[in-house]
Amino acid sequence: MKIVKKTLNYIATTLLAILLLFMVFMVISSKASPEGPNILGYQLKTVLSGSMEPGIKTGSIIAVEPLDNVNTIKKGDVITYKEEDYLVTHRVTEVVSNEGQTLFRTKGDNNDAEDLNPVMAENVVAQYTGFTVPYVGYFIEYAKSKTGSALLLLIPGLLLLGYSGFTIWQVISSIETPSRKEEESSEPTKS
C-alpha cells in the first residue's frame, strides 16, 4: 500500500510541476513572440473566425510552417498570409503568374465565394501543416491578457504549493502516529 501511495504522490507532483512549466512556457511564448508560440520550428496560430470550418474550427490552434520559397505552394494548399493588420488562413484555389509575379487566389472552406483580392507572394507567411487542436486558441488568447497571464501562472503554482503542504502534513501525521503508539506501549499497565 505504501508503494502505491508513493507512486501516486510522485505522479501527482510530477503532473503539477509539468502543468506549471507548461503554463509558464505558454505565457512567456505568447507574450514574447508577436508571431505566436513557436514549437520545433512550427508557429502556433489561433483561428478567430469560422471561414475554414468544419476542418478548422473557430478557437482552434493550428501549426503552420514558415515558408522561404512560395514557389512550392500549389492549388489546394492552405496558407497563412498578411492582410492589412492581421493574418488570414485560407485555401489556395488558383496560382496565377502575372508578369513575373506570383499571386494566389484564396477562399475559406466555409465561405461561399473566393476572397476579393488575390494574395501577393510576399504576403504569404506560412503554410498550414494539417495539425489542429480545437478550442485551445481561446486559451492562448486568454494567456496574452494581463489577467490571463497572472491566473495561468498563479493557479498551477498554488496547486503545487497546496499539494506540497498536504504531502508534508501527511508525512508529519504518519511520524506522530508511531511515536504515540510507542509511548502508550512503554507505559506500565496496571493489572
In whole angstroms, what is the distance from residue 61 CA to residue 18 CA? 21
Does 186 or 40 have the greater pLDDT score? Answer: 40
Determine whether 49 is an active site residue.
yes
Does 17 or 86 have the greater pLDDT score? Answer: 86
Identified catalytic residue from 49, 97, 186, 191: 49
pLDDT for 131: 86
pLDDT for 181: 54
Does 3 or 95 have the greater pLDDT score? Answer: 95
Read off the pTM: 0.61
Task: Tell me which CATH code domain 35-134 carries.
Answer: 2.10.109.10
Provide mean pLDDT across the span 80-92: 90
pLDDT for 142: 73
User: Cα separations (Å) of 159 from 15, 77, 123, 173?
Assistant: 11, 43, 44, 21
The yes-or-no verdict on residue 76 having pLDDT over 80 is yes
pLDDT for 93: 95
Domain spans, the chain = 1-32+144-166, 35-134
In whole angstroms, what is the distance from residue 90 CA to residue 74 CA? 13
pLDDT for 36: 61
Measuring CA to CA, which residue among 8, 7, 13, 3 is closest to residue 156? 13
Mapping DSSP to helix (H, G, I), strand (E, B) and coil, where does residue 112 land?
coil
| Residue range 106-155, pLDDT digits in tens | 999 999 999 998 999 899 999 998 888 887 777 777 777 778 777 777 77
